[in-house]
Amino acid sequence: MNSTTKDDELVLREVLDRWKAAVDAHEPKDVAAGFTEDAVFQGLHPYGVGRPSVAEYYASQPLGMKASYRILETRRFADDLVLGYLDAEFTFTDRAPVAVKLAVLVRHLEDGWYIAHYQVSRLDQ
């Protein structure tokens, strides 16, 4: 497959900027709305499937948590599927930041792009 392209980065930024804004505002339902109905979600807790699992996960996160990301690689596997591999960092008001690798598969549906798969990996430094 081809490497990172500007079009694929734009697709990812559209989706991930919405995700970041909802995470930063501590709006779990808004975070979940950026995922497909059947999304596979793997944060730093046991995985879940679907928007309710995503909302529950982000509702459990502390107030004041903020997200940032940097796209490292993209791959387009089909017209409606873009993979993103990212550096992500979550900052908190009362503890050290958590740096992770994040892989997302975004899918184009009738009304826009959504996260269909989300997987965080925490690598020991």
pTM of the model: 0.92
pLDDT in tens, the chain (125 residues): 445 688 999 999 999 999 999 999 999 999 999 999 999 999 988 899 999 999 999 999 999 999 999 999 999 999 999 999 999 999 999 999 999 999 999 999 999 999 999 999 998 75
Q: How far apart are CA 15 and CA 40, in angstroms?
A: 16
Q: Which two tokens stand for residue 106?
A: 């975004």
Q: Which two tokens stand for residue 13?
A: 């930024």
Phi and psi (nearest 5°) for 31? -60, -50
Residue 91's nearest CA partner among 104, 100, 80, 83 is: 100
Which residue in the block uniquely carries the two structure tokens 């709006």?
A: 27
Q: CA angle 10-15-17, nearest 5°?
A: 90
Q: Exposure string (b/e) for 75-114, b if CB count within 10 Å is 16 or more?
A: bbeeeebbbbebebebeeeeeeeeebebbbbbbeeeeebb
